[in-house]
């Protein structure tokens, strides 16, 4: 940590914070906690093999239909896919 930043933090902590400053610091801390949670979750899933799918590909492919030349999944079929996860 740079001495300028250390000095600024020391100045902030020596005086009473305004409501706005306190809110900004709280939001910043919440953001840091959320980043740490996401990083931890990412580390947990990183160990899983890339070939392991949540759902068999064939099941998804069977739900895809051709409508007016476009590949789509109907909403009822999509709902079934979500329920089966």
Supply angle C-alpha 25, 28, 31, rounded to 5: 150
Beta bridge mates, 71: 66
For the segment 58-85, what is each residue's pLDDT rounded down to a tens digit? 899 999 999 988 999 999 999 988 887 6
For residue 51, which phi and psi values (nearest 5 degrees)?
A: -80, -10
The pTM for the full model equals: 0.38
For the segment 4-21, what is each residue's pLDDT rounded down to a tens digit? 555 555 555 567 778 888
| Three-class secondary structure of residue 31 per DSSP | helix
> What residue ranges in the chain does DSSP mark as E strands?
64-67, 70-73
**Whole-angstrom distance, CA of residue 45 vs CA of residue 48:** 6
């Amino acid at each position: 940590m740079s001495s300028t930043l250390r000095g600024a933090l020391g100045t902030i902590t020596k005086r009473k914070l305004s409501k706005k400053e306190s809110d900004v610091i709280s939001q910043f801390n919440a953001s840091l906690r959320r980043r740490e949670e996401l990083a931890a979750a990412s580390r947990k899933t990183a160990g899983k093999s890339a070939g392991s799918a949540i759902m068999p590909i064939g099941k998804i492919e069977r739900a895809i239909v051709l409508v007016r030349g476009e590949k789509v999944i109907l909403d009822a079929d999509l709902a079934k896919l979500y329920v089966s996860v």
